[in-house]
Amino acid sequence: MASIAIIGTGYVGLTTGACFSHLGHDVVCADIDEPKIARLQNGEIPIVEKGLDRLVDEGLRSGKLRFVVGAAEASKDAEFHYLCVPTPQGEDGAADLSYLEAAASEIAGVLPNDSVVVNKSTVPVGSTRVVARVLGRSDVAVVSNPEFLREGTAVADFLNPDRVVIGSRDQEAAIRVAALYSRVAAPIMVTDPVSAETIKYASNAFLASKLSFVNAIATLCEAVGADVNDVVLGMGYDSRIGREFLRPGPGWGGSCFPKDTKALARIAEDAGYDFSFLNEVLLVNEQQFDRTAAKIVDSVDAAAGQGHVAALGLTFKAGTDDLRDSPSIEVLKRVTAAGVKVRAYDPAVLVDDNHVGRIYPDLDIEIVGDPYTAAEGAASLAILTEWDEFTWLDFDKLAEIMGGRNIVDARNLLDDTIPRRRGFKYRGIGR
Ligand code: UDX
């Protein structure tokens, strides 16, 4: 088994470290955030990731997983060095590599001979050369090993991936990295670094394109009177299309798709290709936010503008507590801008923790602790994130406590016959 340093303990770094220790490797995870490292060393997991707490606990107990402050402290005794630091979107749309370069420069002087440095974070095409330049170590190989982890299922996605991609021109380094995954049952493909980095961006951009396409089809369905649920069901039987990632919604978001899709459009532009298709995918997504917000505002107007909107769901998808680039928030920004009051509930957002206010200080919405408090006196109820508990709402109770009889189901979560039977006007997406 190998000794691995993980630089950065966000959902990618923490998941990668915990899973590598589960696979039998000796892992040291480093972060600059000292209090966070103390909590992690104490087994406290700061993010919602199914199964992660169990793997961290297992690693701490076995001694296969440790947490330290500072990248150099982790890298000084390791053979592999995984860079899992943030690569946020810069002002100009390009990825900001300052954290990556800072991490590389911090470990350059302590890397043991013949180390392998691995880019796990989503980095622009050509970043292995950037890291190699910063390291300035001819005895150290730099390899791309992009992650395909979805938030909320990151552990399962790491241990049961559809594929492992390794980008390296150094065959021996590629084989050494591939060996880290020897206990993972998945195809391992080795290519050059630029192709590996492009696979990551192209995969995310394709998935975002698929979602914008299905959201556009939903709009078409509304225009022609088709039911999008049946349309996507009929499409999904075609193995070339597949059933996954065909759920219409309020638009797509999260900490990856928006950032990576914009970054790829920028990478293309810098390389001299006007990726207008991708810009249209981004535009359709913005329009989906607009359309969903308009449905909600119209539903309040239908109630003579009396009362607020009960917004159910703030996170960018169910199963996570991540609010970054959340479609729900994008929609609610537009709803509040139209002068409509919002009272919101999300099972992953604590009432007394200013979680929303910290990230979105300009968003003026009230946060409450349950869906019925949100719905009390509401002109309309909007489902914006597909939390399972919203499937089981008590519409008899809602009919009693709400001021209006309007439902905007932006995730097509509900069987619309249930609210309709109780006199609600149901508005879905594409149905
Ligand atoms: C994504 C990619 O799936 C993953 O491979 C990559 O490594 C990181 O980015 P993630 O951002 O965690 O993962 O979320 P994902 O499950 O892909 O959902 C992204 C957005 O699309 C969410 O807002 C989600 O609600 C939306 N979505 C997803 C839909 O609207 N409909 C769908 O059918 C699926």
Q: Amino acid letter at 293?
A: A
pLDDT above 90 as % of the chain = 92
Expressed in angstroms and rounded, the spacing between residue 317 Cα and the centre of ligand 1 is 8
Asked if 46 contacts 39 with a C-beta cutoff of 8 angstroms, the reply is yes
Order the strands of the 380-383 sheet from edge to edge.
366-367, 342-345, 309-312, 380-383, 406-409, 425-427
Residue identifier of the C-alpha nearest atom 5 of ligand 1: 148
256 catalytically annotated: yes
Look up the pTM and report it: 0.95
Confidence of residue 126 (pLDDT cuts 50, 70, 90): confident
Q: Per-residue pLDDT tens for 25-40?
A: 999 999 999 999 999 9
Expressed in angstroms and rounded, the spacing between residue 180 Cα and the centre of ligand 1 is 27
Question: Would you say residue 124 has pLDDT above 90?
Answer: no
Q: Average pLDDT of the chain?
A: 95
264-267's contacts with Cβ under 8 Å and 24+ in sequence apart are: 264/201, 264/202, 264/204, 264/205, 265/93, 266/92, 266/93, 266/94, 267/94, 267/124, 267/125, 267/201
Q: Per-residue pLDDT tens for 52-97?
A: 999 999 999 999 999 999 999 999 999 999 999 998 888 887 888 9
What's the confidence (pLDDT) of residue 141? 98
Q: Is 249 in the pocket of ligand 1 (CB under 6 A)?
A: yes
Q: Is 341 in the pocket of ligand 1 (CB under 6 A)?
A: no
- Nearest-atom index, ligand 1, CA of 147: 7
Asked if 382 contacts 341 with a C-beta cutoff of 8 angstroms, the reply is no
Domains, the chain, with CATH or none: 3-191 (3.40.50.720), 192-431 (3.40.50.720)
